Amino acid sequence: MKQCIIKIGMASCGRAAGAEEIYKSAEDHINKHNLDCRLMKTACIGMCFAEPLIEFIMSDMPDITYGRVTSEEISGLIDSYLAGKPQEEKVIISRESTSNFDIQGQENDSLKKQTRIVLRNCGIIDPESIEDYINRQGYMALQKALKEMDPEKVVQEILASRLRGRGGAGFPTGLKWEIAANSRIGEKKYIVCNADEGDPGAFMDRSVLEGDPHSVIEGMLIGAFAIGADEGYIYVRAEYPLAIKHLKKAINDAYERNLLGKNILNSSFSFDLHIKEGAGAFVCGEETALIASIEGKRGMPNIRPPYPAESGLFGQPTNINNVETFANIAWIILNGSEAFNKLGTERSKGTKVFALAGKIKKSGLIEVPMGVPLRHVIYDIGGGMKENSPFKAVQLGGPSGGCIPASKLDTIVDYDSINQTGAIMGSGGMVVMDEKTCVVDVAKFFLTFTQNESCGKCTFCRIGTRRMLEILTRITEGKGKIEDIKKLEDLAEMINKGSLCGLGQTAPNPVLTTLKYFREEYEEHIIDKKCRAGVCNALINYSVLADKCVGCTACARVCPVQCISGEVKKPHFIHQNQCIRCGACFNACKFEAIVKK
């Protein structure tokens, strides 16, 4: 029997679902029975909704991946696969093989509908193995750049690819590199990777760093060669311990292979790379605040110009791109700008990685060509809505973005089209909402986040976001006035114009887009004192349906303020003047006798 390779997804999502226990169970079973199996750790293939995942690979057998595995099932899964009888009902991915088996994975179509450049190695290689990366054309692009190209040619190739920065603003990457390359030629320069991912519901950067750290390092090396930098930093938030662990291992291995350090690959190019762990301040995602943090200062934005390409880290020319941007670079250099230009739209080339979260069946990480409709992303790849509930909106771009309603689901994914809706592409977080979501509450949530994360430097951001939050809080508590809507719009305009950095400038977006598409819900909260989604507690009333109540007393027993009265086996009654609207009675009732309005 030929050796069997068993891969277990050990990214943060897999570990949270129990992958460490599964790995230990598999290891124990293999050792106990002296099986010819090689156990391997990999990262996230994107199907977070089906974790833990375990993949089996063996010649003359189909390559299959099981999902939602438990440690108790491991022994049976291993033995049945080795015996040539895979447990087909648990297979979620199957790949073509030379065997006679015809196993159809539940998620094959979902993967086939994606185009993977950034995620090309995630969930496939061992992220802690530089050999695995090299075996998949790793560092060949760097070798090509150093041996066959000069810095100017590299810059021109990235310009020709029309790659736009994937951090949110979408500035042309090649132009950014060209400016840095031409700035103060001959002086020391830096290149920085912005991995300070802080959007609620976003985990693209974390997944790439956990699953394929060398692709980011190789992209940074090529960028450093292009602009003339000899030193760089990866600025990653300390809340990503696994990503940091894999980065440290990757950097050490790259130094040992002469892929970092002096005279890389026997060339005249030298480059040193460091990791800077951020303290989790959202504002440090802004370039100048990030630079200040690396320098040991408080992370606060500075006035531009000068831009970092002219005077950045320690006063030297500095180029900053995010994780996803750098992960594209090696593929472009190796395959050419023409190949990259075949994907996407006229003004938005290539692919985009999205983190799907919220009320969607298949939450996780995906990568699609620019230009596909949002409907395709949410329904064809994301599987549609949980419990088949009606789609209401998707928050795109995190706290800096906005809500896109059901009427705009055919909007294509590119920078210009998304901007026209009032949202932004952002770094790629997608939070999907159904009809049980209150958009006013969502706007309050994101304003709470940006208000807490404001560095306080700008009065408009520091005070303005607080005033907006106070108004939203009043509205959700049933104390709003109709003139509050105009106040929100006026404050949003002032905050946008008066704030120094992108955090403040875009903080009002969730409010503005929900007002644009769901103004009637704001008006219902204010005029009718009603929350149609039943989310805002102050606007909810719980009552008992006498014809359904059996008098079991379950509701009365859980009521924290004892506002429910009634005798055993007789209908109960909720005293509205005492009710705190906690919902405990609603959750406790097994007879649907308590209604929420």
What is the mean pLDDT of each successive set of 10 residues along the chain, which is 597 residues long?
90 96 97 95 95 93 92 95 90 67 68 93 97 97 98 98 90 96 92 92 94 98 98 96 98 98 97 95 92 95 91 96 97 97 96 95 96 96 92 92 94 94 88 95 95 92 96 96 97 94 92 96 95 90 93 95 94 92 92 90
The predicted pLDDT at position 332 comes to 98
pTM of the model: 0.92
Residue 273 and residue 165 share a domain: yes
Structure token digits, residue 529? 């004192």
Residue 234 and residue 144 share a domain: yes
Question: What is the C-alpha separation between 163 and 155, in angstroms, rounded?
Answer: 11
Domain count, the chain: 5
- What is the domain extent for residue 587? 541-596
Q: Are 440 and 393 in contact (CB under 8 A)?
A: no
The predicted pLDDT at position 578 comes to 92
Residue 211 and residue 134 share a domain: yes
| Amino acid at residue number 248 | K
Last residue of a domain, one of 77, 112, 147: 112
The predicted pLDDT at position 1 comes to 54
Residue 505 and residue 366 share a domain: no
User: Which residues fall within 8 angstroms of residue 247, CB to CB, at 6 or more apart?
Assistant: 209, 213, 234, 236, 275
**Torsions phi, psi of 550, nearest 5?**
-100, 0
**Buried b or exposed e, range 326-359, using 16+ CB within 10 angstroms:** bbbbbbbbbeebeebbebbbeebbbbbbbbbbbb
Residue 191 and residue 279 share a domain: yes
How far is C-alpha 386 from the chain's CA centre?
19
Q: Is residue 119 part of a domain?
A: no
Question: What is the C-alpha separation between 371 and 351, in angstroms, rounded?
Answer: 9
| Amino acid at residue number 130 | I
The predicted pLDDT at position 98 comes to 41
Question: What is the C-alpha separation between 266 and 31, in angstroms, rounded?
Answer: 43
Last residue of a domain, one of 434, 467, 499: 434
- Angle, helices 19-33/74-82, rounded to nearest 10 degrees: 50
Residue 46 and residue 138 share a domain: no
User: Which residues fall within 8 angstroms of residue 66, CB to CB, at 6 or more apart?
Assistant: 53, 54, 55, 56, 77, 87, 90, 91, 92
Q: Is residue 463 part of a domain?
A: yes
Residue 321 and residue 219 share a domain: yes
CATH number at residue 565: 3.30.70.20
> Which residue reads 């949410």 in tokens?
378
Residue 279 and residue 144 share a domain: yes
Residue 215 and residue 302 share a domain: yes
User: Three-state DSSP class for 573?
Assistant: strand
